[in-house]
Amino acid sequence: MQPACSAALLAAFLVVLACSAVSCRGQLADNFYAGKCGNFSVEAIIHDAVKARLAWDKRMVAGLLHLQFHDCFVACGGPSYQVQLGRRDGMVSQASMASILPGPSVDIPTAINLFARKGLNSFEMVSLMGAHTVGVTHCSVIHDRLFNFNGTGLPDPAMDPVYVWILSTFACPKGQAFDNIVYLDDPSSILLVDKSYYSQIMKRHGVLSVDQALGDHSATAWMVRFLATTDFFPSMFSYALNKLAALDVLTGTAGEIRSNCRRTN
């Protein structure tokens, strides 16, 4: 393959995994790279590469979905849909931007407000939280929920006591040497993008405070029930992800396509 074509493939991979500032949704397209690398299908090459890596290590799905939350998206074992292409990389990277992301203990009104600022309604927010179906956290993040909620010396009463016992005994025992990983969904479903996450919340098995709060707050509880008891999650999740992916992107001549994703050209 010619160097120019190889560079185009690398650039395509970086662009598929990039979203930055300035909304230009109308310039994105499902077939943006069609015919731009001779007879090679950029999308097919990327798809096959990611699929091969997923077959080797499905844990990377959580990381990719985390990137999508503030940068990009790749789908896994659940809803499938056309991804709008044509994003370019930003010229500036600011660590301070990470501070605007909602944390694991954010309250629901604050979370709704943060998403609303980006043009996403509360139902879209709850649908996007479904990405936790393949998510993980660490014991250090939920330690207080298990052992000292709000300084009481007791577990968080919002969590099912039996589930507290399971997590505090097997996953996150006191005095453990390592900061173990904890799945945000039922371990039997952790490699599938499905509605199980919402069913777990209804059982009071929400691992993060924000997870359980979705099922307890009056503004979002009915949405959790709806997504847990119907088959609308795949379509709602795909729709919300596509909308998220089209927010604040650089297209056309704005930004650049980086030759090294770790730094600007």
109-160: pLDDT as tens digits: 999 999 999 899 999 999 999 999 988 999 999 999 999 999 999 999 999 9
Rounded to two decimals, the pTM is: 0.74
Beta strands in the chain, from DSSP E residues, in sequence order: 36-39, 136-138, 181-183
Using DSSP's 3-state secondary structure scheme, residue 68 falls into: helix
**Domain boundary, last residue among 68, 98, 128:** 98
- Whether 184 maps to a domain, the answer reads yes
Euclidean distance between the first and the last CA atom of the chain, given in angstroms as a whole number:
23
In the predicted model, what is the mean pLDDT of the chain?
80
Q: What is the per-residue burial (b if ≥16 Cβ within 10 Å, else e) of 92-126? A: eeeeeeeeeebeeebebeebbeebeeeebebebbb
Work out how many domains the chain is built from and give that number: 2
Q: Is 102 annotated as a binding residue?
A: yes
Q: Is 132 annotated as a binding residue?
A: yes
Asked which of 9-13, 219-223, 228-232, 233-237 is least confident by mean pLDDT, the reply is: 9-13
pLDDT tens per residue, range 146-202:
999 999 999 999 999 999 999 999 999 999 989 999 999 998 888 788 999 999 999
Q: Is 19 helix (H, G, I), strand (E, B) or coil?
A: coil
Q: Which of 98, 114, 134 is the C-terminal boundary of a domain?
A: 98
Same-domain pairing of 131 and 14: no
Same domain? For 53 and 69 the reply is yes
pLDDT of residue 77: 55
Asked if residue 252 is part of any domain, the answer here is no
CA atoms within 13 A on the CB side of 207: 25
Annotated binding residue at 187? no
Statement to judge: residues 108 and 46 lie in one domain = no
The dihedrals phi and psi of 136, each to the nearest 5 degrees, come to: -135, 160
104 assigned ligand-binding residue: no
Q: Residue 56's domain spans which residues?
A: 3-98
What pLDDT score does 14 carry? 37
> How much is the pLDDT for 207?
98
Query: Do 42 and 144 sit in the same domain of this protein?
Result: no
Which of 172, 159, 164 lies closest to 201, judged by CA? Answer: 159
Is the same domain home to 153 and 92?
no
22 CB neighbour count, 10 Å cutoff = 13
94 within domain boundaries:
yes
In-domain check, residue 254? no
Mapping DSSP to helix (H, G, I), strand (E, B) and coil, where does residue 119 land? coil
